[in-house]
């Protein structure tokens, strides 16, 4: 275990959905996914300083991967590859980790458009938050999402995260400062019921 980053590295799994650390060999698949999903992802992510195509080249992956490894080594993030049937389909980061009195971090995620709507992201987020608030020894995870991003808002709502308010002009995205809803969950809530169990209970009720 990384003493600066307890809980990392980790491989998490529920059925066909799994999370693992990114690997150097993910470069081609990562580049293909990110380039193919520009229209799907660009409106919700901070704009790169170069073109989307260039920012997501296999050459750029070397710098992204180096940054992932550095932040994980320093204990400030968990950069997970999201996989479906062991094939990379997205990414999820528990980032901006602050230890000591705060015990706080933020979760962010993306998914290939062709795999959206299957519950992959919701399962991945549940697994990562459960792990972060138990083995990872964090106390609170926050997720911030633009109000216009319906699919992403539905992910956290399915898990029952609290919407704590609106952060006005929170991030500079797609050419302007954008408002975000702030959601959160704490370790005490996960101790009462893990998010993955909450999700399965919800899914079971939906079939009755």
User: What's the CATH code, domain 12-20+76-206?
Assistant: 3.40.630.30
Question: What does the mean pLDDT of the chain come to?
Answer: 94
User: Counting beta carbons within 10 angstroms of the beta carbon of residue 28, is it exposed (0 to 12), middle (13 to 18) or buried (19 or more)?
Assistant: exposed
Radius of gyration for the alpha carbons in the chain, expressed in angstroms and rounded: 16
Per-residue HEC secondary structure of 117-167 comes to CCCHHHHHHHHHHHHHCCCCCCCEEEEEECCCCHHHHHHHHHCCCEEEEEE
Work out the pLDDT band at 206, boundaries 50, 70, 90: low
pTM listed for this prediction: 0.94
Closest among 66, 62, 105, 81 to 21, alpha carbons compared = 81
List the chain domain ranges. Answer: 12-20+76-206
For the segment 37-55, what is each residue's pLDDT rounded down to a tens digit?
Answer: 999 999 999 988 899 999 9
The answer to whether 110 and 149 are in contact (CB under 8 A) is no
Q: Which residue has the higher pLDDT, 113 or 202?
A: 113
Give how far Cα 170 sits from Cα of 17, 46, 64, 145, Å: 31, 11, 24, 10
Percent of the chain scoring above 70 in pLDDT: 97
For the segment 129-180, what is each residue's pLDDT rounded down to a tens digit?
Answer: 999 999 999 999 999 999 999 999 999 999 999 999 999 999 999 889 999 9
**Helix or strand or coil: residue 38?**
helix
């Amino acid at each position: 275990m990384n003493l600066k980053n307890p809980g990392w590295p980790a491989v998490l799994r529920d059925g066909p959905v799994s999370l693992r650390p990114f690997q150097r060999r993910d470069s081609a698949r990562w580049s293909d996914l990110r380039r193919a999903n520009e229209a799907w992802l660009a409106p919700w992510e901070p704009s790169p300083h170069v073109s989307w195509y260039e920012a997501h080249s296999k050459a750029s992956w070397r710098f992204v991967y180096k940054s992932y490894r550095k932040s994980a080594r320093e204990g400030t993030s968990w950069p997970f590859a999201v996989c479906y049937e062991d094939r990379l389909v997205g990414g999820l980061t528990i980032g901006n980790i602050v230890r000591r009195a705060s015990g706080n971090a933020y979760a962010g995620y993306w998914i290939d458009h062709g795999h959206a709507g299957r519950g992959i992201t919701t399962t991945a987020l549940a697994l990562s938050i459960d792990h972060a608030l138990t083995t990872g020894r964090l106390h609170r995870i926050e997720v911030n999402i633009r109000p216009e991003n319906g699919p992403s808002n539905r992910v956290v709502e399915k898990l029952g995260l609290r919407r704590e308010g609106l952060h006005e002009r929170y991030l500079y995205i797609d050419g302007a400062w954008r408002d975000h809803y702030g959601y959160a969950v704490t370790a005490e809530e996960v101790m009462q019921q893990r998010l993955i169990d909450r999700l399965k209970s919800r899914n079971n009720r939906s079939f009755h």
